[in-house]
Amino acid sequence: MEPCKLCATIPFDNLPPFPKPTGWSRVADHDDMPELLYRNFSEDDSIAWNVPKDPLGFPYHENLGALAESAADCPLCSIVQAGVVRWKELYHEAIRTPSFIEFHGEQWTIPERAKLWLTKRPTGAAGFVVLARNLNNPKDGIFLLTGVSLSVKSDSPLASRFPLRPVEVDAGSASCLDIAKSWLEHCVENHTGATLQDKLVQRGQLAQELDAKDPPLPTRVLEIDSDIETIRLLDGVGLSGRYACLSYCWGSSRAFTLTRGSIEARKSGIAVSELPKSIHDAVLIARHLGLRYLWVDSLCICQDDVDDWAQQSAYMNDIYSNSRLVIAATHAADKSDGCFNQREQRPTALINCPGLENVYAQMLFPGHENGFASFDSEPLSQRGWALQERVLARRILHYNTRQMYFECDHGVVGEDGCGSDSRYCSEQGLDAQPSKDFHLWNSILEAYGPRKLSKRTDKLPAMSGLASLFKKRFQAEYIAGLWSHKLISGLAWQGLGGEKPSSPEYTGPSWSWASFDGIAAGHVASRDYWIAVASVVEWHTELKERANPYGEVKDAWIRIHAPMTELFLSNKETIDHEVRLRRVGYTPLPRFCTKYSDDEDGSMVRLNYEEDNMSKGWLEWEMHVLLLQEKPRRQKSDNCGETSGDVLCYGMVVRRIEVGQESQFERVGWTFLGGNEAVGLRDEEQNWATIKLV
């Protein structure tokens, strides 16, 4: 089928550039409904909109109706239409969610009448994206509705012009293995980036130099190239070699692991056919890539030996940083699912436009085009241990639900050409700006927060590899997840999206992110312009296993000196914002006042857990607020043209608990106090106290 007259005029090699936004949003928080934002914020917090004017790109169909009509006879329009239909389906799902009205309004509609425009893809890969204006609020943004990639098979005469290959359904095909091998070879030969360890510790040593050497092998490793049908466990102490690591979800089954009693049998040989599928597939991948060794935690650490587990978990930094490649079964929720999956069939057509003969056009997923590569919806990205496995690795080969990705210090690239120029939890800029180190640590913690652990007590151990690395950089003491040189900043985290633990295991003191099952956001507290108000007088930690100084703690407390005052519930029954929240089914945050409050509205307090907010269990608590940090806050000029100054303070919200005859406090939430309320609390000497936080 020949393309329509309009598609035949598309200048595929000379499309207008993608209108790079200042930020991205997601309609109804859906990854595959991205919106391009063009907002600039001034020092007085006002917003200036700078949405590009027409033409946004190459003029395509006048509206969605015209596209649908043309799709009946044009193979290229048909692929674009498939992407638009999918976008509409997601929209109709979104409007049924309570948050949609709160954030988008009841009259928000899809852009049926908006003109469609084509531009280059954000990454510059072969193909195009389809843009349409937000007609509900023209100054607000532009929708990325869908896109099309252009690719050829490896034996095509156009292979040099089109480096992309069609995304196949079978992730384990020979073509996919060849793509993975080409990615690895290209990275080794051309990239000069380094691991996080290189940047934080070795500073300036290039990956090419490190790749030229065979790194030391882990304590135990699987030798995979001696026999096609068999692999065996090998003692790696004192040996060197190139090896891959496997990052995967174990799932519910704990079968087929290494124990003290099975070491000798594993050294004698393990039949490849008996391996769980994720490990089986990793063996095939590593062999195809020419690697001799593979490290898998379940077969290289004794799972019934607490001491061995503690020792090896402390070495995670070296194990993952020294590996040639980490193979990630990102889509698999269980080790029986494997790396190789059957991917969704993308709408595809072999097109023959002027200058393009026998080129495959495939539908793109718009959520892949925004440059974010967190893979949040993938099962492995929701597991706690997998975070450091990804961040510490020199290179990662991701087997995702829809396609493979390759990640290294130069960014992330997918089979269909989507990607990002920076990697996940990027450490770019660390060489030039060492001050970014603590900000990076907080960014990693923020990414770690929502991830799940099979054992809650792994909260600290699952970050021990990263902690040992940052220890070398900070040269500071590690205190139940916080750093001694940044203790006040470390205490000033903001608990977001936490779920109250269903089990009572101790994972850390209340003031540490290690105790919180949710996002412990520290991005505000890590900024240089925040000034410490409080000070830590002393601290104490007791480790559960001495073999891993970054692992579990049995007990920890700090004594802190800070301005502190009691909180009491606001007398004002409701405010407009709370009315809107209740209308869409949300429970508003409680509002509290201090003796310095300027009005009866009070300040909103975000408790650690929404369950406590909804149950109003806090009504029984004796609650106080401690000021930890402050920063100057600029305000708009008044009518006289003068700029007034103010302060904003971060407050830790605590409640009193009685232990024996000693009053202690535990953290239960956080808030912000500003203006006269913060200044009065901070400046009156009678408010200062030294308390013990547990």
Residue type present at position 524: V
Is the separation of the CB atoms in 677 and 687 below 8 Å?
no
Q: How many CB atoms lie within 10 A of CB 671?
A: 23
> Which pLDDT belongs to residue 635?
45
pTM of the full predicted structure?
A: 0.89
Q: Is residue 40 part of a domain?
A: yes
Residue 548, token pair as written in the block: 């891993």
Q: Is residue 274 part of a domain?
A: yes
Looking at the structure, tell me whether residues 312 and 400 fall in a common domain: yes
Residues of the chain with pLDDT under 50: 203-206, 429, 635-644
Residue 51: CA count within 13 A, CB half-sphere: 18
Looking at the structure, tell me whether residues 194 and 130 fall in a common domain: no
> Alpha-carbon distance 458 to 497, whole Å?
20
Q: How many CB atoms lie within 10 A of CB 25?
A: 17
Residue 518, token pair as written in the block: 């949710």
> Which pLDDT belongs to residue 1?
72
Last residue of a domain, one of 97, 120, 151: 151
Q: Is residue 445 part of a domain?
A: no
> Which pLDDT belongs to residue 356?
81
- Give residue 619's domain range: 475-635+643-693
Q: Is residue 449 part of a domain?
A: no
> Which residue has tokens 């005052």?
565
Instruction: State pLDDT tens for residues 273-284.
Output: 999 999 999 999
Q: How many CB atoms lie within 10 A of CB 103?
A: 13
Looking at the structure, tell me whether residues 20 and 105 fall in a common domain: yes
Residue 622: CA count within 13 A, CB half-sphere: 8
Q: Is residue 378 part of a domain?
A: yes
Looking at the structure, tell me whether residues 683 and 587 fall in a common domain: yes
Is the separation of the CB atoms in 461 and 313 below 8 Å?
yes
Residue 280 has φ and ψ, to the nearest 5°, of -55, -50
Looking at the structure, tell me whether residues 604 and 526 fall in a common domain: yes
Looking at the structure, tell me whether residues 386 and 496 fall in a common domain: no
> Which pLDDT belongs to residue 107?
61
Is the separation of the CB atoms in 362 and 375 below 8 Å?
no
Q: Is residue 444 part of a domain?
A: no
Is the separation of the CB atoms in 671 and 540 below 8 Å?
no
> Which residue has tokens 């936080």?
693
Looking at the structure, tell me whether residues 523 and 605 fall in a common domain: yes
Looking at the structure, tell me whether residues 214 and 334 fall in a common domain: yes
What is the DSSP track for 645-672? Answer: EEEEEEEEEEEEEEETTEEEEEEEEEEE
> Alpha-carbon distance 608 to 449, whole Å?
13
> Alpha-carbon distance 224 to 149, whole Å?
37
Number of structural domains found in the chain: 3
Looking at the structure, tell me whether residues 518 and 627 fall in a common domain: yes
Looking at the structure, tell me whether residues 54 and 106 fall in a common domain: yes
Looking at the structure, tell me whether residues 248 and 396 fall in a common domain: yes
Q: Is residue 461 part of a domain?
A: no
Q: Is residue 136 part of a domain?
A: yes
Q: Which residues contact 479 (CB under 8 A, 6 or more apart)?
A: 487, 539, 541, 556, 558
Looking at the structure, tell me whether residues 268 and 402 fall in a common domain: yes
Closest CA to 243 of 178, 300, 198: 300
Is the separation of the CB atoms in 184 and 289 below 8 Å?
yes
